[in-house]
Structure 1
Amino acid sequence: MSGAMSWPFLRLYLLTLLYFSANAILNVMIPLRGEDLGASNTTIGIIMGAYLFTTMFFRPWAGHMIHKHGPIKVLRIILILNGFALILYTFTGLGGYLVARSLQGVSTAFFSMALQIGIIDALPEKDRSQGISLYSLCSYMPGIIGPLLALGMWQAGDMSYFTVSMIAIAVLTGLVGYTAKMDPEQSQPAPADTGQRTGMFQSFGQLVTNPHLFRCSVLMLVASLIFGAVTTFIPLYAGQVAGGNAGVYLMIQAAVVVLARFTVRKKIPSDGRWHSSYIMGMMLILAIAAQCVSFSTTGGPVFFYTGAVLMGTAQALIYPSLTTYLTFVLPKLNRNVLLGLFIATADLGVSLGGIIMGPVADLSSYSFMYMICAILGACMVAFAYEKRKAIVDQDTEEERVNFSGSS
């Protein structure tokens, strides 16, 4: 096997699978534990949102530090912090969970940036979408079994199972991480580059001034908000759906993500062009998925689990598609930092799914909250067409004129 399926990359995918196994369990355990301790949806949303809210702030810095010191050195340091955060869950309550989620957020900022930048830099352009898709696939694979394991631990009423699982994941992730290798060129620190340092601080403005980054970031922000609302509140909402089971829902969603990313990984656009109808279709699927979940309290489990299938499909395609597109259109000098900003918008969206939608659920209902998510998704269908298509057409025309003038 070669390219994105060669052994060095397979080892990185295994590390990704182990690293995100803890979250597959925590995403169910924390809401259930919080409700058991009398926490409101707002409090649960804040605790859950603290993870990626922290990650968001550290993404750009992570991209800069990885550029400066190399991904391997950063990866090994961050795995120690991640292990400490996982162990912290085993002997603390809600306050400790908030601290642990924040520490996990810092770890994930550096972990995911190190692996994704390493994969992007090491693979040829034609294999980029495959590598990103396989990385994303492995980050979701634990979601197939993790929720059911978490429910089993919770229903058993013995938290020792939870303690053992967190310690085991921390140890295994550390062992695999310390033996992982990347291409020697990518493992070495980058030479000093004052342009990169300056760009790190100037890059924040490009979230608005760079049209490609701005549009992709807005689409990712809204999509991630919907994903975050599902992750945070489905364990609590499922009890209101006749025949609904949170573990089954999350298992179906994760299984669809894994299956879709594996089967269509070679078909995700990897040509640097904006495919308007493709993006619009993904956002439409996302909006329908949220509406199915919202309607399931009336329509029953058919709508509930249909929402899981559609949500998994959207989740499988949106992130790798937008990320791959940006690797082609962003300036190479600050690409790592700008990708960090883009991924930070995904983190922010997931956090807002808990932080903002928690109060909405408290003031109304879970069903109404998911209907709001559906409306937001529908708005992004129009946004993808009217804004992105115009920009790309303009860029294409400029390239055509420049080409004609030079020939």
Structure 2
Amino acid sequence: MKGALSWPFLRLYILVLFYFSANAILNVLIPLQGKEWGASNTTIGLVMGAYLFTTMFFRPWAGRIIQKYGPIRVLRIILILNGAALAIYAVSGLGGYILARVLQGVSTAFFSMALQIGIIDALPEKDRSQGISLYSLSSYIPGILGPLAAVAIWKDGMDSFGWVMIGIAVVTGVAGYSAKIDKGEEEQGSTEGGNVLGSFSQLVKNPFLFKCSVLMLASSIIFGAVTTFIPLYALELDRGSAGIFLMLQAATVVAARFTLRKRVPSDGKWHPSFVLGTMSLLALSVQFISFSSTAGPVFFYAAAVGIGIAQALIYPTLTTYLSFVLPKADRNVLLGLFIATADLGVSMGGVIMGPVADLTSYSAMYMACAVLAVLMIFFSFRGRPVTA
């Protein structure tokens, strides 16, 4: 096979699969265990949000450092930090989880940037969207079985939790140290472009980056609210299972990312109808979650499929588009800023929507998410056309 499905890239996707296996378990286990320890939705949201809030903060610097030293050198160092974070989960309580989430956030900022920059640099333009889609697909494959494993660990009294985290850290480290990104290594040392802090202004000044970042932020708030609170919301529903919901969502993301990878635009042009359709599906699906408290499990599980399809399309579509239209000298840093908005959104989904759920209900909170998605439908058409 050639291009994005050649063996060197398949090895990278396998590494991504191992790396994100821990989060597939933690995303379900932390809310469940936190609630058992008596934590409020607000506290659980803060613990969950600490991970991607930290990732967001470090992304732009990750892009610059990787640009200077090369993705493989950075990758090997960061895998050690990831191992330390997973080890902390094995020996601590809820307070230690916050520290572990922060360390995981730093690690993920560099890990995902190294892999995505390496893929973008190494693939020809016609295969770029497929590479990004397959990277994202690999990060969601663990979500198929991870939620069920998390529920099993939790029901078993957490006895095996520490060993599972340490095992994932070891396997990920072994896979990471054998990875190669040849072209990324050849291009290391480039330091063209402005400084990182100065690049933050481009979030507003650059119309391409601004529009994509707002869309990604809003979508990620919804995804974050789903990831954080579905394990708790499902406990209130008749025949509602968080494990099945998140498994369906992840399986849909994986299937859609693979089967629709050639449908993701890879021509550097803005496709408003494609974005409208995706955001409309997201709005309808999250409203189905809200309805499911009275309408039943059919709406609940249908929402998992719809959200999975939307999640499969939004990120690679916007990332691929920006890889064409951003100035090449600053592309790595600006892509880091864009991906940081996704991290911020997922973090806000827990931090902001937690108090909303505490003050109202999970159903009302998901209805608010649906309204946000509808607003983004109109925003995607607002302003002058976004074209390269």
* Structure 2 match to 1:139: 139
What does the per-residue CA deviation read over 1:95-123, in whole Å, with 9 as the maximum and x for residues that have no partner? Answer: 10000000000000000000000000000
* Structure 1 match to 2:293: 297
Distance in structure 2 (CA, Å) of the matches to 1:271 and 1:192: 26
Distance in structure 2 (CA, Å) of the matches to 1:278 and 1:199: 34
| Residue among 184, 199, 205 paired with 2:201 | 205
SS at match of 2:264: coil
Which runs of no fewer than 5 residues in structure 2 stay unpaired?
Answer: none
Is 1:108 aligned with 2:81?
Answer: no
Is 1:280 aligned with 2:279?
Answer: no
* Structure 2 match to 1:269: 265
* Structure 2 match to 1:128: 128
* Structure 2 match to 1:18: 18
Which runs of no fewer than 5 residues in structure 1 stay unpaired?
Answer: 397-407
* Structure 1 match to 2:67: 67
Q: Structure 2: which amino acid aligns with 1:311? A: I
Distance in structure 1 (CA, Å) of the matches to 2:189 and 2:374: 45
Contact 1:269 1:321 (8 Å CA) reproduced:
yes
Q: Structure 2: which amino acid aligns with 1:241? A: L
Contact 1:199 1:334 (8 Å CA) reproduced:
no
Distance in structure 1 (CA, Å) of the matches to 2:382 and 2:200: 24
Q: Structure 1: which amino acid aligns with 2:13? A: Y
* Structure 2 match to 1:55: 55
SS at match of 1:391: coil
What does the per-residue CA deviation read over 1:168-191, in whole Å, with 9 as the maximum and x for residues that have no partner? Answer: 1000000000011111x4124633
TM-aligned CA deviation for residue 375 of structure 1 = 0.1
Distance in structure 2 (CA, Å) of the matches to 1:186 and 1:236: 42
TM-score (ref. length: structure 2): 0.98
Aligned length: 388
Contact 1:211 1:391 (8 Å CA) reproduced:
no
Distance in structure 1 (CA, Å) of the matches to 2:382 and 2:207: 13
TM-aligned CA deviation for residue 160 of structure 1 = 2.6
What does the per-residue CA deviation read over 1:59-96, in whole Å, with 9 as the maximum and x for residues that have no partner? Answer: 00000000011001100000000000001001100110
TM-aligned CA deviation for residue 136 of structure 1 = 0.1
Is 1:41 aligned with 2:64?
Answer: no
TM-aligned CA deviation for residue 264 of structure 1 = 0.6
Q: Structure 1: which amino acid aligns with 2:21? A: S
Contact 1:66 1:189 (8 Å CA) reproduced:
no
Q: Which has the larger radius of gyration?
A: 1
Which structure 2 residues correspond to residues 7-406 of structure 1 after superposition, within 5 A? 7-157=7-157, 159-183=158-182, 185-188=183-186, 190-191=188-189, 193=191, 195-196=192-193, 198-387=194-383, 390-392=384-386, 395=387
Q: Structure 2: which amino acid aligns with 1:336? A: N
SS at match of 2:38: coil
TM-score (ref. length: structure 1): 0.94
TM-aligned CA deviation for residue 192 of structure 1 = 5.2
What does the per-residue CA deviation read over 1:142-177, in whole Å, with 9 as the maximum and x for residues that have no partner? Answer: 0000000110111122x2311111011000000000
Q: Structure 1: which amino acid aligns with 2:28? A: V
Contact 1:60 1:337 (8 Å CA) reproduced:
yes
Q: Structure 1: which amino acid aligns with 2:286? A: A
SS at match of 1:257: helix
Distance in structure 2 (CA, Å) of the matches to 1:130 and 1:254: 18
Q: Structure 2: which amino acid aligns with 1:128? A: R
Structure 1 vs Structure 2: percent identity of aligned residues? 68
Q: Structure 2: which amino acid aligns with 1:315? A: Q
Distance in structure 2 (CA, Å) of the matches to 1:190 and 1:296: 51
Contact 1:148 1:247 (8 Å CA) reproduced:
yes
Distance in structure 1 (CA, Å) of the matches to 2:199 and 2:128: 23
What does the per-residue CA deviation read over 1:195-224, in whole Å, with 9 as the maximum and x for residues that have no partner? Answer: 42x342321101000000000000000000
Contact 1:69 1:188 (8 Å CA) reproduced:
no
CA 1:25/1:293 → structure 2, altered by over 3 Å: closer, same or farther? Answer: same
Pairwise CA RMSD: 1.0
Q: Structure 2: which amino acid aligns with 1:114? A: A
What does the per-residue CA deviation read over 1:307-354, in whole Å, with 9 as the maximum and x for residues that have no partner? Answer: 101000100000000000000000000000000000000000000000
Distance in structure 1 (CA, Å) of the matches to 2:68 and 2:187: 5
Distance in structure 2 (CA, Å) of the matches to 1:223 and 1:127: 25
Distance in structure 1 (CA, Å) of the matches to 2:218 and 2:116: 22
Contact 1:45 1:355 (8 Å CA) reproduced:
yes
Distance in structure 2 (CA, Å) of the matches to 1:240 and 1:298: 11
